[in-house]
Structure 1
């Protein structure tokens, strides 16, 4: 599928910058590549049914941030996408690694999880355009290659602030006297996702939130101009766009650049500033306060921009307290952890096939019936191998560590990693280097609810988070040495 990238990989070798002969101290560079579909309408991820968009509210980008100290370089790339397939990440890394000399294990590619971006991964009834998926590796690799080419002497810093106003746990406990039926004919679930405002059937949120807004920033040593900000916030997404949109992640990128005056005319002719918002551990977190009153209707994009401004305020408060450093140690570690796949039993598979055969489809050829949708998922999952590799990464930038997990990670896992951080600060980037579905804790698997329901969106073994957390703590300790 990716044979067309060989020519581009060969051509991109000429992009290797003069930074190969490094000067002392940290060097930083950034670049944003447009990856908006060139052919519309495009399939859109994010719902139980496949949808299409023929318009673009704001473009999709791959935003990259390169850091180099001596012979060690790390490049972070955050892509406007709901999810990214591992195969696309791997193909992009091969191209970028050949062009830059940076090991693939030092390259991190993650998705923002915007539900209004072009589909890259088939989930539920939303299937990607194969031609678009084939076009992605060189377009994503361009961001990493050009960020590397833009490396220049820099100062870096890391910090954090808080914005509790935009994060709420979206899973609520069902009251003991109440019950809800899941798509598998059972009424044993004790957690309900997105129950609606002031729902009398639920009692309290089923978990905490993480209100921290973490940032990793770089500025040029020559003139002090901002080069890049990589932020991290544990908010699933915002939504509300009627067309292709990078959601609040893209709005934040523009907001932080404007408010740091990084686009001033005095910087004309210099590499453009790149703002980046990565998705933290937001698998069970969203932007709706179901304990409050139903919010007023908002115009398309209004809530996206409101959240971007609010989170931008926290990022700027963190910026104002940064302690800049001209030299810090960098380190990266990577491993593949093999984990089991949850599949339907023989009787469950027989039920699924019967449901798919007998349930009426809508005029668009898709199912509206939730049981049939999950039955189809059971059949598709049956073709999966018994176990799959799950890529984990740990990175160190001075006193900051960053973990990377290819899942929609529950907030409890991120909070645990922060509590056991080996250095000053830590954050986790979810949906990184591939997609392996939701990552609930074993406790949340016992509670049930949407995020645990077996499908291509949630298929790892129930103890997966325990194994992943244990492995990441070892990797983080290693890079911190």
Structure 2
């Protein structure tokens, strides 16, 4: 009935082999299901309110489309991560530290796995920084009568706590689908090598002095869908393209607004669409090969539609991860900052009065503002920046970096990542201006003049992010 002794021995060996194989492989069945909750909240300030984005003072005159904070809460077992993306030019370390503390207390979770990011909209409120302090001081000195202004940082923290709480109340079991689209027609490296050997940013359309572009773009459109049953509860889209297509004095979310509208039309209004800005410190939407205007809501709508089309095409080749495995890590990296003398600081302070006028060159305005900011915020000490990595499975990971990161640095992280798909988000947790490459520091131009970090800081972030990704992936393989 059971065969010969030799056959029984072989069968026993086979059973032992199968048992050993099961022990050596991750057992997805024992993992609790991944849950997702998403929510949106309006963070538009009342008008008039100073607007961010440029080196001159602007007051808002209205709202073209509301500004939102969009929250994604992921939970599996005892681990909870929170990602909130705001339609703002940036979020400061002080503000995000306070918001994370309150969110962690409200939700009874670990604050180190809470990420707060910005889309970098140039048509949002100016609510902090050297220029705001200067303009307020000038206003006070002139004894101007101004009605009390909304304490926007306090208002924003309250909204961030609320949207995180709202998302946490909507947790449902989810599966993950991911895809990568491809888009090359809307983003352009804005740094060019000129005939005199210099490198300039935005040298003008059809400029005959342009020799060649100085760097690449990142054409990947990363997409992750979070599905609860047959519906898509949330989507995360990641693309590297600077947000400065609208201009004017009306509050607006810029091109992500049109992307969100298109995703809602395709996936349903129940889908909370979130846009995470990719590494685009040297990337914008300006095509120098023609002289057509590229500013305004029409341009933002065109870009949003093109990006939505890339998302749709990418989703035609969606991959599904039924066995989601949530993991997260956070690391504080000490990044060296630029240092200036007392004489340089005194000169910069004296030049602040000329910022926003034609009496001081643009790059001189940028440098003066930067030097004063460095002295006020960093005082020559290394900048402690938070890096967050979130693994959704053994295939998909999200990297969250501070500042406006050059695209080459984001590409380097993707290239070295062990995950099949890696979404790299910038302007997370802090906004220390531009983070160029070592190569760009040698070349110079606007982004380098406006940078706070020292040369090599960007490469240090890449090294740390890759180490974190490798560690997460190894841990996933060991489970």
TM-score range, shorter chain: 0.7 to 0.9
Query: 1:241/1:57 Cα in 2 relative to 1: closer, same or farther (>3 Å)?
Result: farther
- Does residue 30 (structure 1) correspond to residue 38 (structure 2)? The answer is yes
> CA separation in 2, counterparts of 1:56 and 1:368?
32
The equivalent of 1:375 in structure 2 is: 368
How far off its partner does 1:360 sit? Answer: 9.5
Structure whose residues are more often helix by fraction: 2
How far off its partner does 1:474 sit? Answer: 1.0
- Does residue 69 (structure 1) correspond to residue 81 (structure 2)? The answer is no
Q: Which of 285, 307, 328 lines up with 1:287 in the alignment?
A: 285
- 2:62 match: secondary structure: coil
How far off its partner does 1:23 sit? Answer: 9.7
The equivalent of 1:93 in structure 2 is: 100
How far off its partner does 1:238 sit? Answer: 4.1
- 1:108 match: secondary structure: strand
Query: 1:119/1:351 Cα in 2 relative to 1: closer, same or farther (>3 Å)?
Result: closer
Structure 1 length-normalised TM:
0.83
How far off its partner does 1:326 sit? Answer: 3.5
The equivalent of 1:225 in structure 2 is: 231
CA deviation string 1:244-263 (max 9, x = no partner): 00011222112111122x12
Query: 1:423/1:353 Cα in 2 relative to 1: closer, same or farther (>3 Å)?
Result: closer
- Does residue 214 (structure 1) correspond to residue 200 (structure 2)? The answer is no
Query: 1:114/1:354 Cα in 2 relative to 1: closer, same or farther (>3 Å)?
Result: closer
The equivalent of 2:379 in structure 1 is: 385
Indicate the structure (1 or 2) with the bigger Cα radius of gyration: 2
The equivalent of 1:59 in structure 2 is: 66
**What stretches of structure 2 of length at least 5 have no aligned partner?**
1-29, 137-148, 475-479
Alignment of 1:69-468 (within 5 A): 69-122=76-129, 124=131, 131-176=151-196, 190-221=198-229, 224-242=230-248, 243-260=250-267, 262-263=268-269, 272-290=270-288, 292-296=289-293, 300-353=296-349, 355=351, 369-370=361-362, 371-372=364-365, 374-383=367-376, 384-386=378-380, 387-398=382-393, 399-453=395-449, 457-468=450-461
How far off its partner does 1:106 sit? Answer: 1.5
- 1:348 match: secondary structure: helix
How far off its partner does 1:305 sit? Answer: 0.9
- 1:289 match: secondary structure: coil
> CA separation in 2, counterparts of 1:226 and 1:60?
23
Query: 1:154/1:414 Cα in 2 relative to 1: closer, same or farther (>3 Å)?
Result: same
How far off its partner does 1:121 sit? Answer: 3.7
CA deviation string 1:108-150 (max 9, x = no partner): 1110011111124426568796711221111012222111111
- 1:165 match: secondary structure: coil
The answer to whether the 8 A contact 1:49-1:125 is kept is no
The answer to whether the 8 A contact 2:181-2:314 is kept is yes
Query: 1:105/1:124 Cα in 2 relative to 1: closer, same or farther (>3 Å)?
Result: same
- 2:455 match: secondary structure: coil
Greater displacement, 208-217 / 83-92: 83-92
- 2:333 match: secondary structure: strand
CA deviation string 1:31-64 (max 9, x = no partner): 0011111x31111111111211120000011101
C-alpha RMSD of the superposition? 2.3
How far off its partner does 1:427 sit? Answer: 1.7
Q: Number of paired residues?
A: 427
Query: 1:382/1:419 Cα in 2 relative to 1: closer, same or farther (>3 Å)?
Result: same
Structure 2 length-normalised TM:
0.84
